[in-house]
Amino acid sequence: VVNVLAGRILGPAGYGKYNLVLVVANIVTIFVLLGQDMTSIKYISSSEKEKDKKQYLSNSFYIILSSSFLWIVFSIFFYFQIAHLLNFDQKIFLLAVIFAIVMSMRTLLDSFVKSFNFFKFQSLFKIIEGIIILAVFIFFFLALKFDDYQYYIFSLTAGYFILCLIFFLKIKQKIVAWDKQKFLDIIQYSKVTIILTIIGTIMASMDKLFIGKTLGIEQLGIYSA
């Protein structure tokens, strides 16, 4: 529902910019998430001991925290060069990185909740997440009369952030110290998931990236509607 409203309110150019942010964010997410969503589900679900489950969860969590920090530092120092190289607006790249980090954390925490079979809890708060996104969207676009694509990103980010916070509070007691062997297990398995994710992202996103760069933002907005 929100996506349909966004398409109508933002228009082709604004919706095109939103989709460009989304495409770049999906690419960045690969290198922030590093396959930890699928990897954590595999190891947490298959482990019989609670201690092992906690250690796998914790190591995946620490990996994402580290990769997120590195991406923030990288973006601060090189956002201008990357935006210039890709011929993007600098704001689009920075928004994409921030959005990618939030999406990555949401995806990881969602996989943790799923791995521990908190399905009712997961479903309930995903509904609440959708309500928050819709409420923030209405506030920005209908109450304040904003019409810039970045406020749609902010609406989504608000919902994702609240869900991340709730999921984190649910699993925070399961976070324990780093374990070298569990870390090596995770890294070994995640190599495969990263490759699969790269292939999937290329197939799903490269058409939009190509259209945005060759035909323009408005055409991307029309194509993505």
Q: If you ran DSSP here, which 8-state letter would residue 87 be given?
A: T
What are the structure tokens assigned to 157, written together? Answer: 């980010």
Residue 225 lies in a domain: no
Q: Residue 125: which residues within 8 A CB-CB, separation 6 or more?
A: 163, 166, 167
For residue range 181-219, list pLDDT tens digits in order.
999 999 998 988 888 888 888 888 888 878 877 888 888
pTM for this predicted structure:
0.91
Residue 64 lies in a domain: yes
Instruction: Give the residue numbers spanning the domain of 51.
Output: 35-191
Residue 213 lies in a domain: no
Residue 204 lies in a domain: no
- Count of structural domains within the chain: 1
Q: What stretch of H or E contains 95?
A: helix 90-115
Residue 214 lies in a domain: no
Residue 89 lies in a domain: yes
Q: Is the confidence at residue 160, as pLDDT, over 90?
A: yes
For residue range 89-124, list pLDDT tens digits in order.
888 889 999 999 999 999 999 999 999 999 999 999
Residue 118 lies in a domain: yes
Residue 28 lies in a domain: no
